[in-house]
């Protein structure tokens, strides 16, 4: 039985609205194992981004709990994992515009406490692995969308997280580039033994995950 790398139990979340609390997630539970790939589909506004933010510790549930596998191999709350339990990949890349590709990736390692030289070496190696060895000094504004997403994937992997959370990572890309990014994401995640939680509107990409879910009416169900 593979190790559990993420455990979410009974997640409930509502947002305040003038007419009263707006329920978004109702009792969502999910268990992710090492090497798992899981896709989540759902219509716009169904709460997919909200769920990923709870899983990654960027937001807190109203009730329920999330535990992720930290570098010392124990299950802890996301905010206690020193930023190394999960890696995020976003639809709009979220790169720092004034930093080069190399600096963007190295910064994520520096924030997690890796010394400068080692951070740069690891960033260079990962960027080469994602096909950007000749673009290390490019600013994001000088990279194509697909290249920006490759940088973001390298950044998400740099601290060797046990889980990658990808929120519509191909949403801004043309069909062919999107397919290339999916190949890359599935490939590097598998190679590093990380698990992947992929939010996507694409049925085709969702089917490439080993387990598939749909989020609807605040409830997560197997597809």
| Options 43-51, 81-89, 117-125, 175-183: segment touching ligand ATP (CB under 6 A) | 43-51
- Verify binding: residue 49, ligand ATP, rule CB under 6 A: yes
222 binds, among ligand ATP, Mg ion, none (CB under 5 to 8 A by kind): none
24 binds, among ligand ATP, Mg ion, none (CB under 5 to 8 A by kind): ligand ATP
| Options 27-35, 40-48, 120-128, 185-193: segment touching ligand ATP (CB under 6 A) | 40-48
Positions 1 through 30 that interact with ligand ATP (CB under 6 A): 15, 24
Phi, psi angle pair for 214, to nearest 5°:
-125, 135
197, 163 contact by CB (below 8 A): yes
- Verify binding: residue 50, ligand ATP, rule CB under 6 A: yes
Could you say which DSSP state residue 8 is in? E
CB of 46 to ligand ATP, least distance (A): 4
Phi, psi angle pair for 72, to nearest 5°:
-85, 15
CB of 103 to Mg ion, least distance (A): 28
Query: Exposed e or buried b for every residue in 57-83, given b needs 16+ CB within 10 A?
Result: beeebeebebbbbbeeeebbebeebeb
- Verify binding: residue 39, ligand ATP, rule CB under 6 A: no
| Options 28-36, 40-48, 143-151, 174-182: segment touching Mg ion (CB under 5 A) | 40-48
- In 10 A of CB 84, how many CB atoms? 22
Report the DSSP pairing between strands 22-33 and 4-15: antiparallel
Could you say which DSSP state residue 2 is in? P
Residues forming a β-bridge with 199: 40, 167
CB of 152 to ligand ATP, least distance (A): 17
Total binding residues for Mg ion by CB under 5 A? Answer: 2
CA 153 to chain centre: 9
Residues contributing to the site for ligand ATP (CB under 6 A) = 15, 24, 42, 44-50
């Amino acid at each position: 039985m593979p190790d559990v790398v993420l455990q979410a139990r009974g997640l409930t979340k509502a947002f305040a609205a003038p007419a009263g609390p707006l329920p978004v997630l109702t009792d969502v539970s999910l268990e992710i194992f090492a090497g798992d790939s899981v896709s989540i589909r759902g219509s716009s506004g169904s709460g997919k981004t909200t769920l990923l933010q709870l899983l990654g510790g960027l937001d807190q549930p109203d009730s329920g709990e999330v535990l992720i596998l930290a570098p010392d191999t124990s299950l802890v709350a996301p905010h206690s994992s020193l930023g190394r339990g999960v890696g995020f990949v976003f639809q709009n890349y979220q790169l720092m515009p004034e930093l080069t590709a190399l600096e963007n990736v190295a910064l994520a390692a520096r924030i997690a406490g890796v010394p400068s030289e080692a951070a740069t070496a690891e960033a260079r190696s990962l960027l080469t692995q994602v096909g950007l060895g000749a673009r290390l000094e490019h600013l994001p504004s000088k990279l194509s969308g697909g290249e920006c997403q490759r940088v973001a994937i390298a950044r998400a992997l740099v601290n060797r997280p046990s889980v990658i959370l990808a929120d519509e990572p191909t949403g801004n890309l043309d069909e062919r580039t999107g397919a290339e990014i999916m190949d890359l994401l599935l490939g590097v995640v598998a190679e590093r033994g990380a698990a992947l939680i992929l939010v996507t509107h694409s049925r085709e990409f969702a089917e490439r995950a080993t387990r598939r879910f749909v989020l609807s009416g605040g409830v997560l169900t197997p597809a």
